[in-house]
Amino acid sequence: MHAQLQAILNDFLAAGARLGRLAAEVPDEVWEMRPAPASWSVSECVQHLSLTTAAYAAAAEQALDAARALGGPAPARYRRDLAGWLLWKMVAPVPTRRMPTTAPFIPVNAATKDAVLAEFSHWQAAERSWVERSDGLPIHRVKVASPFNPRLRYSFYAALTILPRHEHRHLCQAELAWHTLRAARRA
């Protein structure tokens, strides 16, 4: 596998392991609790990730088909286009500023911890599959539209680098929610 794609795959695996550690630590009765009214619970952070990946699914499959149709070898080095690079920079793994999301990506249904984890696992398997099937393809030459703003288009390679960063960003948010709730429980 191309080294840059392997790095993306490793980022997804690290995010899955990070969620596993967090889920083992957070009691079921706290999973859906918000640390503050305007904040998300651990559950909502994870559900947001599943909603985001589900919104990418059709575009990812179309991008893979388009890259196969283009043919040609993968580059020696993948590069993000400008729009993809800017979004990648904005979606820092440690949130330094709040970025509001649009309604389709705000979790609205309460779900059990097991259900939320199973859905995340399902969609993360899809993401890893997209990376694996990208190997050898010119995915940097295929554009996808952002599910958050369809006018924003960037390369599928950039999308694959953004998704695990987005996961780590919201897992950091989930960890902060848990630490706040745990501190409040101890007080």
Mean pLDDT by 10 residues, the chain (187 residues): 96 97 94 89 94 94 95 87 87 70 68 92 97 96 90 94 94 93 78
Cβ burial 45-57 (10 Å sphere, 16+ → b, else e): bbbbbbbbbbebe
Q: Scanning the structure block, which residue is given the tokens 């006018």?
A: 151
pLDDT of residue 187: 66
Question: Rounded to two decimals, what is the model's pTM?
Answer: 0.90
Domain residue limits at 130: 3-186
pLDDT of residue 150: 85
Q: How far apart are CA 163 and CA 128, in angstroms?
A: 11
Neighbouring CB atoms inside 10 A of 133's CB total: 16
Alpha-carbon dihedral of residues 141, 160, 81, 51, nearest 10 degrees? 110
Sequential DSSP letters for 93-121: SS-SS-----GGGS--S---HHHHHHHHH
Long-range contacts of 109-116 (CB under 8 A, 24+ apart): 109/47, 110/32, 110/43, 111/43, 111/47, 112/28, 113/23, 113/26, 113/28, 113/31, 113/43, 116/31, 116/43, 116/46, 116/47, 116/50
Q: How far apart are CA 166 and CA 93, in angstroms?
A: 7
Residue 72's domain is classified under what CATH number? 1.20.120.450
pLDDT of residue 13: 97
Q: How far apart are CA 50 and CA 100, in angstroms?
A: 17
pLDDT of residue 41: 92
Q: How far is CA 60 from the centre of its chain?
A: 13
Q: How far apart are CA 84 and CA 87, in angstroms?
A: 5
Split into its structural domains, the chain has a count of: 1
